[in-house]
Amino acid sequence: MSGDGPIQERVFRQGGIRWRRYYGEADASGSDAGRISPLVILHGLFGSGDNWQSQARSLSGRGNASRTVLVPDLPNHGDSFHTDSFTYPDQARVLWDALPGVLERCDLSPDTDLELLGHSMGGKIVMAMTLERPHRVSRLVVVDILPRVYAPRHEAILRGMRAVTEGAPPNRKAAERILERWIPEKAVRLFLLKSLAPDPESGPYRWKLNLEGITRCYDAISDWPYREGRYDGPVLFVRGALSPYIGDAPEGEIHRFFPRAVVTTVSDAGHWVHAEQRDAFLSVVREDET
pLDDT digits (tens, 9 = 90+) for 130-145: 999 999 999 999 999 9
Return d(Cα 247, Cα 233) in angstroms, integer: 24
Residue 118 has pLDDT above 50, yes or no: yes
- Is 222 among the catalytic positions? no
The total of other beta-carbon atoms located within 10 Å of residue 199's CB is: 10
Average pLDDT over residues 35-44: 91
Confidence of residue 70 (pLDDT cuts 50, 70, 90): very high
Measure Cα distances from 106 to 2, 28, 101, 177 in Å.
18, 7, 9, 42
Average pLDDT over residues 226-248: 96
Average pLDDT over residues 15-20: 97
Nearest in space to 90 (alpha carbons), one of 225, 207, 209, 193: 225
Average pLDDT over residues 253-282: 97
Measure Cα distances from 56 to 42, 52, 71, 248 in Å.
11, 6, 8, 29
Return d(Cα 132, Cα 100) in angstroms, integer: 16
Active-site residue, from 9, 154, 212, 222: 212
Active-site residue, from 43, 77, 119, 271: 271
Listed in sequence order, the residues at least 6 apart from 135 whose beta carbon sits closer than 8 Å to its beta carbon are none
- Is 82 among the catalytic positions? no
Enter the pTM of the model: 0.93
Listed in sequence order, the residues at least 6 apart from 259 whose beta carbon sits closer than 8 Å to its beta carbon are 230, 232
Nearest in space to 143 (alpha carbons), one of 275, 255, 289, 290: 275
| Amino acid 5: pLDDT | 58
Active-site residue, from 48, 120, 195, 243: 120
Strands 65-66 and 196-198: unpaired
Return d(Cα 265, Cα 65) in angstroms, integer: 28
Signed CA dihedral, 96, 100, 103, 109: sign only: positive
Nearest in space to 229 (alpha carbons), one of 206, 254, 263: 254
Q: Kindly report the average pLDDT of the chain as a whole number.
A: 92
Return d(Cα 96, Cα 164) in angstroms, integer: 34
Return d(Cα 220, Cα 229) in angstroms, integer: 19
- Is 2 among the catalytic positions? no
Residue 282 has pLDDT above 90, yes or no: yes
